[in-house]
C-alpha cells in the first residue's frame, strides 16, 4: 500500500517516484473545497468515495484528497486552502498519531469539519482520547452505510459553509472598517480613488488590476467618465475617457452606471459608487470568477462606505476650488497666489522674479455701460491674452474684480511687455474694445517677508501708480511701506484707550432660522476715541495682535461676555449663548486655557452659554497641536465654532478630528446666494459638509428675507445679520430681547 496521495478524479494528480513516498502531495488543478480522507484501509477510501461522490453543495466544486498515512496527511499542497471536511479512519490508524494529525490540521484549517470512523467496541476509548477536539460526527461500525455517510457528510459541509461565511464576513468587515478609517484622511480625488482600488482588491482577494472612473459634466452639458486611478494592466488609461475603452470594458462600466449597482460580466466586475448630483465613481476590476453571496453583501456595505467618503471629498474639493481658484476664469485667486508666493520665496533663487499687479483702467464704467455678462467676457479675454502672449513658465492669477497678477522672471514681467498686451483691442461680441492698464510691480529679490506681505507691497505700488496717472506703472520701494511711526502711535493710542475705558463690547444677535428665536449673540469689540470718532476694528485689531495687547484685550472681552450671560440668565434667558472671537495670538498663548477656566469660575458663567470662534486658517495651522488644545477647551463645557468657513482650505481628515460644534459661513458666500443660479453652491456645500460632520451651521451677514429663506431651505440652522439686528450695547441687547421675544417668531410664520 503506497503512502502517496491518490485521487480518483481528474482534479488531483498523485506524484509518485519509483513506488516510494512522494515528496510532493499532489497538484491542485482547479479551486474549490477539498475533502481529505485519511486511512490505511484501501476499502475505507473506496467506500467513502463511492458513498460521498453524489454529495455536492450547489455552486461549489468538491475535490477528494486521499492520504494513506498520518504523515502524508500533513503534506497537503499549498493550493488546498479550502479544506472543508476531514474523514479519519481510527480503525486503521494509530490513535496517538491521529491526535497529532488533528492538532496539525486544526492549526492550518480551523474551520474544517472532522468526521471519525471507529468501531462499536472502541468508540468509548476513542471518545475519551479525542474529547479535547471538536468532532463533528462519528461513524460507528466496520461496515459503511452509504445513506448514513451521505447525511453526515451533508451536514458537515453545511456546517463548514456557515463557519466559512462567518470567517469571511468578519474578515471583510475588518477590511471595510480599515477603509472607513483611512479614506477620510485623503485629500485629493486621485489619492481617494487609488485607495479604493487597493481596498477593493484586498476585499475580493484579487490582484490589483483595475481602474476608477469619475463622471464629469463637460462644457456641452454631456456626461463623460474619465479614469482618475488605475493599477496593473490599466495604468496607461489614467486621464483617458471611458469611451476609449475596449468594448467589453466599456459595456461593463456603462451597465454599472445605468443600473447604479455592481455588475459582473464574466471577465470584469464593475462597481457603482454614488456621489452628489451627476457625479459618481465606477470601479472596474479584472475578475473572471462569479461573486458569492457573502462577497456580494460585503460589496454592498463597501459601496455604501465609499459613497459617503466620495460625497465628502467632492464637497471638500469644491470648497478648495472655491477658496483657491477664481470661479470665472479658473485662475488662482488671491489666497492661492499667496501660497505660490510663499513657495517661491522659500526656494533658492534661480532667476530674478517679479510680481506684477495689473489693474484694468475704467473697467467699472465699461461693466456698467455694457453689462456684467459683457464684462465677464472681457475679463476672460484679458486672462487668455496674459496667459498665451506674455510668455511661458509664468503664473497668472485674478486677485480681485478687475485686477490680475502675473509672476515670472524679470525678463518676462516688465512694464513694456505688459502694456504691449493692451495695444490691440479686445474683440467681444463683434465689438472692439480698447483697454489700458495700470501696473504695480515688486522685485522679489528685494523683498523680505511672506507671500502675503509681498502681495501687499505690490498693491501699495499699484495704488501709488493709480494716484499718479492711469496707464502708468511703479516698482515698490521701501519708502512706500507702512509708516512705522503711524503703527507705533496707533499702538500707544490703543493701550491708552483701553486704560481710559474707551473700548466697549457690543452684541449682534443670532437667530434660529426655523423658529425665529434669538438663541445667542456675537460679542464684538468697539473703540470710540476721545474725539467721539469710531476706530475700525480692521485697523486696531492687527495692531493689538502685533503688540501682544490682544491677549489682555481678549481676556477682558471674554469676561464682559461671561458677565452678560449671567445677567441675561437672571432675566430669563437661561440658554442664551454668546460667541467670542479668539485671535491666533490669544489662542496660542500658553496661559489661554488657565485664563478661560479662571474667568468662568470668577464670573460664575455657565460654560455652555459661551462659544469661542476661531478662524478656519487657525484651525488648519498645526492641526495636531490644535486638536489637543480643543479637547481641553471643550472639557470646560465651552463650545467652539470655526469662523469665516469657506475662505480657507480644510482637509476632511483634519475637520473630522477637530473637536468643534459649529461652522460659520463667511458673509461673502451669503451675499452671493441670490446673485445667480450657482450663487448658493458654496453655502450649500458648507451646509452639507456640516451635516455630514454632524456640526451646526450658522451664516453671518444675512441682510434680507430672501437670503434667510434660501439658507433655511438649504438646511442652515442659524443666521446673523442686519436683517435681524445690528450690533447692540448690553443695555440695548437686554431691551431688544424683551421686546422681540415674539417678534422674530412672527417673522418666520408671516
Alpha-carbon distances of 549 from 74, 172, 490, 641, rounded to whole Å: 79, 57, 12, 23
- The pLDDT score that the predictor gives to residue 440 is 93
Classify strands 27-28 and 403-409 as parallel, antiparallel or unpaired.
unpaired
- Chain centre to alpha carbon of residue 643: 20
Residues 426 and 385: their CA atoms lie apart, in Å, by 9
Burial of 344 (0-12, 13-18, 19+ CB in 10 A): middle
One-character DSSP codes across 370-402: H-HHHHHHHHHHHHHHHHHHS-SS-EEEEEETT
Which helix H or strand E contains 407, and what residues bound it?
Answer: strand 403-409
Question: Please, how many CA atoms are within 13 Å of residue 465, restricted to the half-sphere of its CB?
Answer: 27
Are 47 and 76 within one domain?
yes
Domain assignment of residue 132, given as a range? 12-166
Which CATH number fits the domain that encloses residue 477? 3.30.70.270
CB atoms near residue 420 (< 10 Å):
12
User: Could you give the 3-state DSSP secondary structure of residue 201?
Assistant: helix
Which helix H or strand E contains 719, and what residues bound it?
Answer: strand 718-720
| Partner residues linked to 664 by β-bridges | 698
202 contacts 175 by C-beta, under 8 angstroms: yes
407 contacts 355 by C-beta, under 8 angstroms: yes
Are 236 and 260 within one domain?
yes
Q: Which of 324, 342, 373 is the last residue of a domain?
A: 324
Closest by CA position to 664, among listed 618, 627, 705: 618
- The pLDDT score that the predictor gives to residue 222 is 66
Please identify which residue in the block is written with the cell numbers 441670490.
674
Are 348 and 472 within one domain?
yes
pLDDT along the chain (750 residues), means of 10: 36 31 39 80 81 59 83 74 82 81 80 84 77 79 75 79 68 67 67 77 78 70 76 80 84 88 84 72 79 72 70 63 75 87 81 91 82 88 88 86 92 92 89 91 89 89 80 83 66 92 96 93 94 90 88 96 96 93 89 95 96 82 79 93 71 73 89 66 86 91 93 94 95 91 45
Alpha-carbon distances of 149 from 47, 133, 595, rounded to whole Å: 10, 21, 80
Q: Is the dihedral of CA 34, 38, 42, 47 positive or negative?
A: negative
Does the residue 175 lie in any domain? no
Are 642 and 561 within one domain?
yes
68 contacts 20 by C-beta, under 8 angstroms: no
Classify strands 33-38 and 62-67 as parallel, antiparallel or unpaired.
parallel
Which CATH number fits the domain that encloses residue 650? 3.20.20.450
Please identify which residue in the block is written with the cell numbers 517516484.
17
Residues 270 and 256: their CA atoms lie apart, in Å, by 6
- The pLDDT score that the predictor gives to residue 358 is 95
Residues 657 and 623: their CA atoms lie apart, in Å, by 9
Are 285 and 209 within one domain?
yes
Are 63 and 190 within one domain?
no
- Chain centre to alpha carbon of residue 18: 64
Which CATH number fits the domain that encloses residue 264? 3.30.450.40
Which helix H or strand E contains 52, and what residues bound it?
Answer: helix 42-52
294 contacts 306 by C-beta, under 8 angstroms: no
Are 66 and 114 within one domain?
yes
Does the residue 668 lie in any domain? yes
Q: Which of 270, 304, 324 is the last residue of a domain?
A: 324
Burial of 588 (0-12, 13-18, 19+ CB in 10 A): middle
Are 256 and 316 within one domain?
yes
Does the residue 5 lie in any domain? no
Are 157 and 58 within one domain?
yes
Are 24 and 158 within one domain?
yes
Does the residue 284 lie in any domain? yes
CA angle 266, 111, 107 (to 5 degrees): 120
Are 357 and 492 within one domain?
no
- The pLDDT score that the predictor gives to residue 272 is 85
Number of folded domains in the chain?
4
Does the residue 3 lie in any domain? no
One-character DSSP codes across 258-270: HHTS-EE-SSEEE
Does the residue 511 lie in any domain? yes
Does the residue 180 lie in any domain? no
CB atoms near residue 288 (< 10 Å):
11
One-character DSSP codes across 425-463: PEEETTEEE---EEEEEEEGGG--S-HHHHHHHHHHHHH
612 contacts 580 by C-beta, under 8 angstroms: yes
Which CATH number fits the domain that encloses residue 70? 3.40.50.2300
Does the residue 177 lie in any domain? no
Are 84 and 202 within one domain?
no
Q: Which of 166, 194, 214 is the last residue of a domain?
A: 166
| Residue 11 DSSP class | S
Residues 145 and 139: their CA atoms lie apart, in Å, by 9
Amino acid at each position: 500500500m503506497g503512502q502517496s496521495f491518490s485521487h480518483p478524479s481528474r482534479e488531483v494528480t498523485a506524484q509518485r517516484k519509483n513506488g516510494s513516498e512522494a515528496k510532493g502531495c499532489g497538484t491542485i488543478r482547479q479551486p474549490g473545497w477539498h475533502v481529505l480522507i485519511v486511512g490505511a484501509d484501501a476499502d475505507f477510501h473506496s467506500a467513502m468515495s463511492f458513498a460521498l461522490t453524489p454529495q455536492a453543495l450547489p455552486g461549489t466544486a468538491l475535490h477528494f484528497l486521499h492520504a494513506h498515512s498520518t504523515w502524508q496527511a500533513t503534506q497537503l499542497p499549498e493550493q488546498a486552502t479550502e479544506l472543508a471536511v476531514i474523514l479519519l479512519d481510527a480503525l486503521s490508524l494509530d490513535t496517538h498519531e491521529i491526535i497529532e494529525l488533528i492538532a496539525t490540521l486544526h492549526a492550518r484549517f480551523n474551520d474544517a469539519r472532522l468526521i471519525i470512523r471507529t468501531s462499536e467496541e472502541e468508540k468509548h476509548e476513542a471518545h475519551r482520547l479525542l474529547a479535547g477536539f471538536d468532532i463533528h460526527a462519528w461513524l460507528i461500525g466496520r461496515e459503511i452505510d452509504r445513506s448514513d455517510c451521505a447525511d453526515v457528510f451533508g451536514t458537515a459541509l453545511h456546517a463548514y459553509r456557515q463557519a466559512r461565511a462567518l470567517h469571511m464576513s468578519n474578515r471583510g468587515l475588518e477590511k471595510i472598517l480599515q477603509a472607513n478609517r483611512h479614506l477620510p484622511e485623503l485629500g485629493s480625488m486621485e489619492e481617494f480613488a487609488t485607495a479604493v482600488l487597493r481596498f477593493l482588491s484586498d476585499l475580493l482577494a484579487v490582484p490589483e488590476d483595475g481602474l476608477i472612473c469619475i463622471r464629469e459634466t463637460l462644457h456641452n452639458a454631456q456626461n463623460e467618465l474619465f479614469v482618475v486611478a488605475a493599477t496593473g494592466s490599466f495604468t496607461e488609461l489614467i486621464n483617458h475617457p471611458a469611451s476609449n475603452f475596449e468594448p467589453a470594458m466599456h459595456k461593463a462600466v456603462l451597465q454599472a452606471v445605468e443600473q447604479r449597482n455592481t455588475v459582473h460580466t464574466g471577465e470584469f466586475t464593475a462597481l457603482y459608487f454614488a456621489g452628489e448630483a451627476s457625479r459618481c465613481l465606477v470601479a472596474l476590476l479584472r475578475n473572471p470568477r462569479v461573486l458569492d453571496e457573502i462577497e456580494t453583501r460585503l460589496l454592498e456595505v463597501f459601496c455604501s462606505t465609499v459613497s459617503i467618503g466620495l460625497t465628502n471629498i467632492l464637497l471638500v474639493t469644491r470648497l478648495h476650488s472655491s477658496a483657491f481658484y477664481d470661479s470665472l476664469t479658473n485662475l488662482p485667486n488671491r489666497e492661492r497666489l499667496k501660497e505660490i508666493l510663499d513657495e517661491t520665496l522659500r526656494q533658492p533663487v534661480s532667476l530674478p522674479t517679479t510680481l506684477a499687479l495689473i489693474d484694468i483702467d475704467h473697467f467699472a464704467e465699461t461693466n456698467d455701460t455694457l453689462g456684467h455678462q459683457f464684462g465677464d467676457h472681457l475679463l476672460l479675454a484679458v486672462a487668455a491674452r496674459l496667459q498665451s502672449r506674455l510668455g511661458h513658465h509664468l503664473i497668472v492669477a485674478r486677485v480681485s474684480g478687475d485686477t490680475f497678477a502675473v509672476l515670472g522672471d524679470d525678463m518676462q514681467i516688465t512694464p513694456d511687455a505688459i502694456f504691449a498686451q493692451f495695444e490691440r483691442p479686445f474683440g467681444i461680441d463683434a465689438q472692439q474694445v480698447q483697454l489700458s492698464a495700470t501696473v504695480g510691480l515688486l522685485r522679489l529679490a528685494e523683498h523680505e517677508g511672506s507671500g502675503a506681505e509681498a502681495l501687499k507691497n505690490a498693491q501699495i505700488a499699484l495704488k501709488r501708480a493709480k494716484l499718479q496717472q492711469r496707464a502708468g506703472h511703479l516698482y515698490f520701494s521701501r519708502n512706500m511701506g507702512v509708516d512705522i511711526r503711524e503703527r507705533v502711535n496707533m499702538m500707544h493710542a490703543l493701550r491708552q484707550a483701553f486704560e481710559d475705558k474707551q473700548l466697549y463690547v457690543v452684541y449682534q444677535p443670532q437667530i434660529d432660522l426655523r423658529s425665529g428665536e434669538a438663541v445667542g449673540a456675537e460679542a464684538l469689540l468697539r473703540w470710540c476715541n476721545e474725539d467721539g470718532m469710531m476706530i475700525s476694528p480692521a485697523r486696531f485689531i492687527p495692531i493689538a495682535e502685533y503688540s501682544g495687547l490682544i491677549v489682555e484685550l481678549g481676556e477682558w472681552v471674554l469676561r464682559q461676555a461671561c458677565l452678560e450671560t449671567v445677567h441675561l440668565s437672571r432675566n430669563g434667558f437661561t440658554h442664551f449663548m454668546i460667541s467670542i472671537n479668539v485671535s491666533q495670538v490669544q489662542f496660542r498663548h500658553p496661559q489661554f486655557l488657565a485664563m478661560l477656566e479662571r474667568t468662568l469660575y470668577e464670573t460664575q458663567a455657565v460654560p455652555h452659554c459661551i462659544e469661542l470662534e476661531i478662524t478656519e486658517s487657525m484651525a488648519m495651522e498645526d492641526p495636531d497641536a490644535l486638536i489637543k488644545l480643543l479637547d481641553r477647551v471643550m472639557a470646560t463645557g465651552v463650545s467652539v465654532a470655526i469662523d469665516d468657513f469657506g475662505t480657507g482650505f480644510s482637509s476632511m481628515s483634519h475637520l473630522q478630528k477637530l473637536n468643534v460644534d459649529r461652522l460659520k459661513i463667511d458673509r461673502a458666500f451669503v451675499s452671493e446666494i441670490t446673485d445667480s443660479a450657482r450663487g448658493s453652491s458654496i453655502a450649500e456645500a458648507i451646509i452639507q459638509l456640516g451635516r455630514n460632520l454632524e456640526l451646526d451651521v450658522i451664516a453671518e451677514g444675512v441682510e434680507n428675507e430672501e437670503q434667510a429663506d434660501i439658507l433655511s431651505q438649504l438646511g442652515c440652522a442659524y443666521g446673523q445679520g442686519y436683517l435681524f439686528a445690528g450690533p447692540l450695547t448690553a443695555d440695548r441687547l437686554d431691551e431688544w430681547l424683551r421686546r422681540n421675544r415674539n417678534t422674530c417668531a412672527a417673522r418666520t410664520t408671516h
